[in-house]
Structure 1
Amino acid sequence: MNYDLDKFGLSEEELFSPVDNSSLESEKITAPRYSYWHSVFRVFFKKKINIAVLCLLGVILLMTYVYPLFVEYDRFANLMNGATKHLSPSKALQQLGFNIHWILGSGASGQSTFDAVWFGSRISVSLAFICALINLSIGVIVGSVWGFSKKVDVFMMEVYNIIGNIPYVLLISVLVLIFSPSFWTMVFALTVTGWLAIAYFIRTQVVIIRDREYNLASKCLGTSIFRIAMKNILPFMTSVIVTLAATEIPSYISYEVFLAYIGMGLSDMSLGRLIYEAEGAMLTPGWGFEFWSPVVVASIITVVLYVVGQNLGDASDPRTHM
C-alpha cells in the first residue's frame, strides 16, 4: 500500500528513524516490577478489618510486654488486709483509688486482677511464640526433605505411624508430670513431638510439587535434595507456612490454659494458672471478674492471632495478587 507523504506534510526522514541495534534500551521491560512482599501487604491492608484486627493485636502485645515493665506487681502486697480481697471493680475503685490497676477488681490475695492478667499473658504468649518457632522450624525443614526423599519417607512414615497415634494431650501431660511443671518443661513437652504433625503436612504439600519439570531437571544436574527442598520448594509454600503459624500459635495458648485448668500446667502465674486458681470464684456473686477476666483475655488473644495469621496466609497466596 502506497501512502502520499506530501499529503500529510511528512518526509521519509521524519516518518522513519534509524534504530541502534546495539542499544540497551531495546532490552528494557516496560512491565512494572513485581515485588512479592509488597503485593502481600497490599492485599492484606486492602481489607479494613485486617487493619482493625492488627491494631488490636498491637495493643495486646503492648499490654503484654510493655505494660509489665512499668508496673511493680506484688501479688501478696495486700495479703494481710482482708478488706481488699475479692472486690468487684466498683468496690475496688472506691476503696483502693480510681486508677487502672483496679478496673477489674481484686483477687483472693488482694492483688490487682488487671495487673495479674497482663503479667500472666506475657508468660502464655511467650510460651506460644517459642513453641511455634521451634515446631515450625523443625517441621518445615524435616517435612521438605521428607517429601522429596523416598528413603527418608519410608523411615519417617514408620515414625509418624507410631508417635502420631499417641494422643498429644496425654503425651504432654505425662511429660509435665515426669518433670517439674516449669516454663521450659512445658516448652519441651509441647515441642518434643509437636513438629511431627507439621512435618507430615509439609511432606504432603511437597509431594504435590516435587515431580515438576524444574525439580526433575535440578535433580538430574546433581543438585542435592536439601538444596532443592530449600530453594525450589519452600519459596512456593510461604502461604501454607503462614497459615500453619496462624493455627499453631493460638493452639499452644489453649494447651497451656487447659493443662493449667486441670492442675497440670505451669507453676508460674500464666493465664491458665490464673483461671485455675480463680475457679472457685466463678459461681460466687461479685467474684466473677477473677475468673472471667483471664478467660476473656486468653480468648481475645487466641482469636486475634488466628484471624491475623489466616488473613496474612490468604494474602501470601500469589493467586490473590492478580
Structure 2
Amino acid sequence: MSQDLEKFGMPEEELFAPVDHSDLESEKITAPRYSYWHSVFRVFFKKKINIIILAILGVLIAFTYLYPLFVEYDKFGNLMDATTKHLSPSAAIERLGMNIHWILGTGAAGQSTFDAVWFGSRISISLAFICAAINLSVGVVVGSIWGFSKKVDVFMQEVYNILANIPYILLIAVMVMLFKAGFWTMVLALTITGWLGIAYFIRTQVVIIRDREYNLASKCLGTSTLKIAMKNILPFMTSVIVTLAATEIPSYISYEVFLAYIGMGMSDMSLGRLIYESESAMLTPGWQFEFWSPVVVASIITIVLYVVGQNLGDASDPRTHM
C-alpha cells in the first residue's frame, strides 16, 4: 500500500492520519435543535394568506376592545331629535358631519350604528372566549381521565348517552328562561353541558393513543399514568385541541346571535341583540345598514376566527414540520 502511494507521489500520511478519541465528543448530537412551537409558527407564517387573515383578526380585536375605551357610546343620545333616526351612511354624514361614527348610518334612536356594532362585538367575542376556555379546559381534563379509567368510562358513557340526546339549543333556551337573561347566565347555559362533547372526543383520541407500543413500554418500565398522559399523549393532541378551539369559539358567537335573534338572548347589547332590535329595518328602504352591519361584522368575526384556528391547527400537526 505504501509503495503504491509513493508510486503516485502521494505520502501515506495525507490519506491516513491518526485522530484523538474522545468519549465526550462522541456523545454530542450534530443535528440542529428542534423547537416545536418555532416549527409551528414557521409553518403557519409560511402561507401569506395566514398573515393577511391574522392582520384582519388584529384589526377586529383592536376595534372590539380598544375602540370602546376611547368612545363614549350613548344609545339614546339623539333620541329627541327625530331627524337623526334611521339614516343611511350618506344621509348621516350629510346631517351629522363627516365622522367615523356615522359611516354606517344611524339606528332607531339616532345612535351610531358603527359604535353599536363594536360595543356589541366586545360582548359577543368575550362570551365566546370565556365559554371556549371553560369548555375546552373541562373537556380536555375530563376526557383524558375518561379515556384512561375504565370505571370512569362506564359511568361517563351513561351520562353522555343521556345528556347528548337533549337538544343543545333547547337546553340553552331553558336555562336562559329560568334565570335572568344576562351575560353570565349565557355563559352558564353554554358551558353546563358544552364540555361533554369535547370530553367524549378527547376520550376517543386518548383510547386510540394510550395502547400504542411506546406507551405500553413506558407503563411496563414503571412510568406513572399521569406522566404518560402529560408527556406522551397530550402533546400529541395539541393540533386536535387547537382545531377544536377553532370550531368552538365561532360556534358560541353563532349560538348567541341565533338565540338573540329569536328573542331568547342576552339583555346586554351584543351582536345578536343588535340584530334582533334592528330586524324591522331589514325590509325598509334606506334602513338596511342598521340590520346588515351587525350581521356582516358577526359573519366576518366568525369566519376569521375559524380560518385562523383551522390553519393554526394544521400547523400544530408535527407531520407538517418537514
TM-score normalized by structure 2? 0.96
Cα distance per residue 1:5-28 (max 9 Å; x no partner): 334544344433333322533222
Letter in 2 for 1:102: W
Pair 1:196 & 2:196 matched: yes
CA distance in 2, matches of 1:2, 1:141: 71
2:202 corresponds to which letter in structure 1?
I
Partner in structure 2 of residue 259 of structure 1: 259
Give the conservation status (yes or no) of the 8 Å contact 2:245–2:309. Answer: yes
Q: How far apart are 1:144 and its partner, in Å? A: 1.2
Q: Distance in 1 between matches of 2:32 and 2:9?
A: 37
Q: Distance in 2 between matches of 1:287 and 1:180?
A: 31
Aligned to 1:120: 120
SS at match of 1:124: helix
Alignment match, 2:316: 316
| 1:83-162 matched pairs, under 5 angstroms | 83-162=83-162
Query: Cα gap change, 1:193/1:201 in structure 2, threshold over 3 Å: closer, same or farther?
Result: same
Which residues of structure 2 form unaligned runs of 5+?
none
Change (3 A) 1:26 1:3: farther
The percent of aligned pairs where both chains have the same amino acid is 83
1:31 Cα offset (Å): 2.1
- Runs of 4+ aligned structure 1 residues displaced above 6 Å come to none
Compare 191-200 and 9-18 and name the one that shifted more.
9-18
Contact 2:250 2:303 in 1 (8 A): yes
Amino acid at match of 1:11: P
What is the aligned length? 322
1:17 aligns with 2:1: no
Deviation of 1:222 (Å): 4.3
Cα distance in 1 between the residues matched to 2:24 and 2:220: 35
**Per-residue CA shift, 1:82-141, capped at 9, x if unaligned?**
111100000000010101000000001110000000000000000000000010011011
Q: 1:104 to 1:12 in 2, by over 3 A?
A: same
**Alignment check: 8 A CA contact 1:145 1:229 kept:** no
Q: Which amino acid aligns with 1:154?
A: V
Which amino acid in structure 2 is aligned with residue 217 of structure 1?
A
Residues 257-313 of structure 1 deviation map (CA, whole Å, 9 limit, x = unaligned)? 001001111101000000000000000010001100000000000000000111111
Q: Residue 31 of structure 1 aligns to a residue in which SS?
A: coil
1:1-322 alignment, distance < 5 Å: 4-7=4-7, 9-322=9-322
What are the Cα deviations for residues 133-166 of structure 1, in whole angstroms up to 9, with x where unaligned?
A: 0100110111111112211111110110011111
Classify 1:186/1:3 alpha carbon distance in 2 versus 1 (closer, same or farther; 3 Å). farther
Question: C-alpha displacement at 1:67, in angstroms?
Answer: 0.7
> For residue 306 of structure 1, what is the amino acid of its counterpart?
Y
Work out the CA distance in 2 between the residues paired with 1:74 and 1:9.
96
For the 8 Å contact 1:145–1:225, the answer to whether it is kept is no
SS at match of 2:181: coil
Q: CA deviation at 1:46?
A: 1.3
**RMSD between aligned alpha carbons?**
1.5
Change (3 A) 1:213 1:3: farther
Cα distance, 1:117–1:229 mapped onto 2, change above 3 Å? same
Give the Å deviation of 1:2: 6.5
In structure 2, the CA distance between the partners of 1:157 and 1:256, relative to structure 1 (3 Å rule), is: same
Q: Check conservation: 2:2, 2:12, Cα contact below 8 A.
A: no
Partner secondary structure for residue 45 of structure 1:
helix
C-alpha distance in 2 between matches for 1:225 and 1:28: 32
Distance 1:248 1:231 in 2: 25
Counterpart CA distance in 1 for 2:6 and 2:107 is: 97
- Aligned-residue offset at 1:49: 1.0
Question: How many angstroms apart in 2 are the aligned matches of 1:144 and 1:17?
Answer: 58
| CA distance in 1: counterparts of 2:76 and 2:96, whole angstroms | 15
Report the CA distance between 1:213 and its aligned residue: 2.0
Which runs of 5 or more residues in structure 1 are unaligned?
Answer: none
**Closer/same/farther in 2, CA of residues 169 and 6 from structure 1, 3 Å limit:** same
